[in-house]
């Protein structure tokens, strides 16, 4: 279901989170009050909650900031803006990663950026669904082409994680870190995740679609299906508003140069910084690879980006992939 033009206009009017009367909305949109009411009823399907109070009118449960291309591009420096070949914003899409993967097969160039107000088939690692109501979070994917094969960019998600933390710190969010291999965490809870999908020749040209989902505002009722502790920027920023367009722009501004330069620099350029942001080091945890479970104390990552774990027998293991789980309850 695509959002109707009149629904988008109503959302734009209600975006400030204040009350607006039915008469005011009807006049602004040139329609009857009953037509306004019908359009409002359709917002539930988008995960948008609103209140209707007699004598006051209608108000969204929380203010939203709809995405706008000019507002996003304004946050990019001129050199980074030159790396953007195209910027698309979708009201609703299956998945920004899936969309760009389709375009990549049609020879779309590097720097194609896709954002969405809502995904209906958003993807996380291992096939998990990414939960996000309309107009509330960051759903971002960027296509980039590389001359070397997939093995040369195997640690790309770690470098992109560094770029995400840089962007958050530029916006004053200092209490976020990285959980190997591709999660953004804050105080033991998941704030976002990175999903990179690579296709191409084993030893030749390939492309990568880098997807980022970042929680800006995630209502409790929408997060019921999430199977792990989670948080959002609304909570960790102490109620200080984080502009959604500026956040999207800062993220793109930091991620693009990582993608453009990774074949030249590799992980080495980001290794020390990643270790600084590592929120797992020193934790007793389990690593799951299929049905196998390995327990021990995590000791960061090596120069290849492999996770290091020291077990109870003082053996040091290195993991190229796997699912990490803390062995103690989150605080």
Residue numbering of the annotated binding site for biotin: 95-97, 119, 190
**Active-site annotation holds for 125:** yes
CB atoms within 10 A of CB 159: 24
- CA 255 to CA 59: how far, in whole Å? 36
Tokens of residue 206, six digits: 């390939």
In the residue annotation, 327 being an active-site residue is answered as yes
**Integer Rg of the chain from CA:** 21
Q: Which residues contact 132 (CB under 8 A, 6 or more apart)?
A: 47, 118, 119, 122, 139, 213, 215, 218, 222
Distance between CA atoms of residues 250 and 168, nearest Å: 8
Q: Which among 80, 123, 190, 244 is annotated as catalytic?
A: 190
Q: Which residues are annotated as a binding site?
A: 95-97, 119, 190
125, 145, 189, 235: which is the annotated catalytic residue?
A: 125
Yes or no: say if 233 and 147 are a contact pair by the CB < 8 Å rule. Answer: no
Cα–Cα distance for residue pair 113/75, rounded to 1 Å:
14
Residues designated as active site: 125, 190, 327
């Amino acid at each position: 279901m695509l959002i109707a033009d009149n629904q988008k206009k109503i959302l734009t009017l209600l975006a400030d989170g204040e009350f607006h009367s039915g008469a005011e909305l009807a006049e602004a949109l040139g329609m009857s009050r009953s037509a306004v009411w019908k359009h409002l009823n359709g917002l539930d399907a988008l995960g948008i909650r609103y209140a209707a109070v007699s004598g006051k009118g209608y108000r969204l449960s929380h203010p939203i900031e709809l995405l706008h291309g000019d507002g996003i591009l304004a946050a990019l420096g001129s050199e980074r803006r030159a790396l953007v070949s195209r910027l698309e914003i979708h009201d609703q899409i299956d998945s920004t990663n899936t969309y760009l993967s389709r375009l990549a097969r049609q020879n779309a160039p590097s720097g194609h950026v896709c954002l969405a107000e809502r995904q209906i088939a958003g993807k996380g690692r291992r096939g998990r669904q990414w939960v996000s109501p309309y107009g509330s979070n960051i759903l971002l994917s960027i296509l980039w082409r590389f001359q070397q094969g997939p093995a040369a960019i195997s640690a790309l998600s770690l470098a992109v994680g560094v770029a995400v933390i840089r962007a958050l710190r530029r916006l004053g969010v200092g209490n976020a870190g990285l959980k190997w291999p591709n999660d953004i965490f804050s105080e033991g809870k998941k704030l976002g995740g990175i999903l990179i999908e690579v296709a191409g020749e084993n030893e030749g040209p390939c492309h990568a679609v880098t997807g980022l989902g970042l929680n800006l505002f995630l209502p409790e009722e929408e997060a019921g299906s999430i199977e792990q502790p989670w948080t959002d920027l609304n909570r960790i920023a102490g109620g200080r508003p984080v502009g959604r367009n500026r956040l999207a722009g800062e993220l793109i501004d930091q991620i693009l140069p990582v993608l453009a330069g990774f074949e030249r620099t590799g992980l080495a350029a980001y290794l020390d910084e990643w270790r600084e942001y590592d929120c797992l080091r020193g934790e007793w945890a389990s690593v799951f690879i299929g049905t196998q479970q390995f327990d021990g104390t995590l000791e960061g990552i090596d120069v290849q980006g492999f996770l290091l774990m020291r077990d109870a027998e003082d053996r040091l293991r290195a993991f190229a992939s796997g699912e990490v789980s803390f062995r103690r309850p989150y605080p």
